[in-house]
Structure 1
Amino acid sequence: MNKFQSVISDGFELNYCIKGLGRPVLVVGSSVYYPRLFSENLYKEFQFIFLDHRGFVKPPCALEPEDDILDKVLDDIETARQALKLEDFIVLGHSGHAFMALEYAKKYPEHVQKVVLLNSAPTNSPERQQQSFSFFDENADPARKRQFEQDIALLESDIKQDPERRFVHMCIRMGAHSFYDYTFDAVYMWNGVYTNMPIIDYLWGNTFGKLNMIQSLASFDKPVFIGLGRYDYLVAPVSLWDSIDNTDGGKVKKVVFERSGHNPMFEEPHSFDTQLIEWINEGK
């Protein structure tokens, strides 16, 4: 059972959950969802701090998303960092949260030692999203495609019954795009996860489409670990990252997990843990 604490930022009550001891790794996202993905083995090496952002908590009042919502999220993370007294830490972002992690490290570099970016495409532009769907259509095996067709056919009724959790329903019904084992049922992973849909819709549907992490990394001077899944059709293909080739003096390390989809920390925990632990401890 995870023990949650909270910090208030701009009226939002952001929960966080701390697991393990050692060098701190701040995981941006949902404090409920993400502890379910990482192995206990990592907590023997490091202190993982799972922090909500305002897309996963109830708003203090009615709100309209604005163009500066990402800046506000980054400021929330900084408020939490100060409250937690993190002076030298690693920031980790998975999927859309990779954009947050990198943008946070750019805006507040003083205390960030390293950055971990997991299972994201360089941009979330509509063109890239269509490229990922096309890659699935052209490369997924027939059984995976059939599973996807069966699952996605249920999405409309899911959303109709529970529209405020449409992000969750979509993530679950996209399982054949998300997991190496395309029959895996991820429902339990999302139990108890609140979604603030106006913020999620704006970040994923607008903000992240305007960012490009490859361009950002060109002028970024901290060590970066990029973890990708060979069967991660949500952000496919991994060749989108081909310009990052592990030969730029060691600043960026890219690892492709060959038997994983969107969650290599869950699907290949031994390999993932080995790679991440080794990288974090380099130059210790």
Structure 2
Amino acid sequence: MNIQSTVMSEGFALNVSIRGNGRPILVVGSSIYYPRLFSEQLYTSFQLIFLDHRGFVKPPRTLEPEEYTLDKVLDDIEAARQTLELEDFIILGHSGHAFMALEYAKKYPEHVRKVVLLNTAPTNSPERQQQSFAFFNETACPERKRQFEADIALLEGDIQREPERRFAHMCIRMGAHSFYDYAYDAAWMWEGVFTNMPVIDHLWGEAFARLNLIDSLKEVAKPVLIGLGRYDYLVSPVSLWNAINGSQANVKKAIFEKSGHNPMFEEPDLFNAILTDWIDETDN
């Protein structure tokens, strides 16, 4: 199955890309970017529903700040759930979208069966971001550091050329922080992806900085899988999650030893196996 559709919410045209057959997994983020990260094999067991949010679609008007709060995004997800008639589904959030997924499960728990949080730190506060940079500087190999210095030197020119794509360019030039293969060029992943920078700046810079996922997990009784990459310097170190140590029976943590920020792309077979086994185990 491969279906493209659109959900309207307060004038925003949120695109939906549905791939595969089986138990539904709602993937919050860009309907263009995220299908490029998951392997075709996963679509034989699950139906992945890739949903845009306001940060990845052209706005229908000049937006006021109250139109791109996190609560508005959560309400958009709920509008999509109703339109798509999802009654019993898994919600998956990767990177900053993990905050959206968990907060949605808190605000609208009725139809959420499980929650998957991938490659995120517990908070996106400036202090945590500085901690991640410090960890990179202290522990990354010299070759990785040289690659990062060469790539990041190109970022200013990228932004001057296409300021509206600042988020995408930053993600591309941070490849040495993002991939186990520190020289990997992820530019193709971002081709055709629209970024609404006022929305993204607010969510990543303010909303996610005020949240702490470890605290939020205490309010969620659903089964939760946390997936982390050992070489994911964007949200490093994995020890930020040491408080998740098995004391919460509903929360499982998996660390991918040869992945950076995208284990579903970098270690697809292992990722698929861990995700599938966890879903099967928590169904019993």
Per the normalisation by structure 1, the TM-score is 0.98
> How far 1:281 moved relative to its partner?
1.4
CA displacement, residues 100-150 of structure 1 (integer Å, 9 cap, x when unaligned): 000000000000000000000000000000000000000000000000000
User: Deviation digits for residues 169-228 of structure 1, max 9, x if unmatched?
Assistant: 000000000000001000000001000110001100111000000001122111000000
Q: Secondary structure at the match of 2:101?
A: helix
Q: Counterpart in 1 of 2:251?
A: 252
Q: Is the 8 A contact 2:2 2:20 kept in 1?
A: no
**The 10-residue stretch of structure 1 (211-220 or 90-99) with the greater mean CA deviation from structure 2:** 211-220
Partner letter of residue 28 of structure 1?
V
SS at match of 1:262: coil
Name the CA distance, whole Å, in 1 between partners of 2:126 and 2:228: 20
Paired residue for 1:221? 221
**What residue in structure 2 maps to residue 15 of structure 1?**
15
The alpha carbon displacement at 1:282 in A equals 1.6
2:64 corresponds to 1:64: yes
Q: Does 1:269 align with 2:268?
A: yes
Q: CA–CA distance in 1 between the matches of 2:180 and 2:238? A: 14
Answering whether residue 122 of structure 2 is matched by residue 122 of structure 1, we say yes
Residue deviations 1:27-62, cap 9 Å, x none? Answer: 000000000000111111110000000100000000
- CA distance in 1 between partners of 2:11 and 2:204 (Å): 22
Q: Does the residue aligned with 2:115 lie in a helix, a strand or coil?
A: strand
1:1-284 residue pairs with structure 2 within 5 A? 3-66=3-66, 69-249=69-249, 251-284=250-283
- Measure how far apart 1:87 and its partner are: 0.3
Aligned length: 283
Structure 1 residues 241 and 283: CA distance shift in structure 2, 3 A:
closer
Structure 1 ranges of 4+ moved more than 4 A: none
8 Å CA contact 2:68–2:199 kept in 1: the answer is no
- Matched letter for residue 253 of structure 1: K
Residue identity matched to 1:166? R
**In structure 2, distance between residues paired with 1:196 and 1:88:** 30
TM-score by length of 2: 0.98
Contact 1:64 1:198 in 2 (8 A): no
Letter in 1 for 2:216: S
Query: Cα deviations across residues 215-271 of structure 1 (Å, max 9, x unaligned)?
Result: 01122111000000000000000000001013432x001000000000000000011
CA shift in 2, pair 1:19/1:104, >3 Å: same
Percent of aligned positions with the same letter in both sequences?
72
> What is the distance in 2 between the residues matched to 1:147 and 1:16?
36
- RMSD of aligned alpha carbons: 1.2
Distance in 2 (CA, whole Å) between partners of 1:149 and 1:184 is 14
Gaps of 5+ in 2: none
Unaligned segments of structure 1, at least 5 residues: none
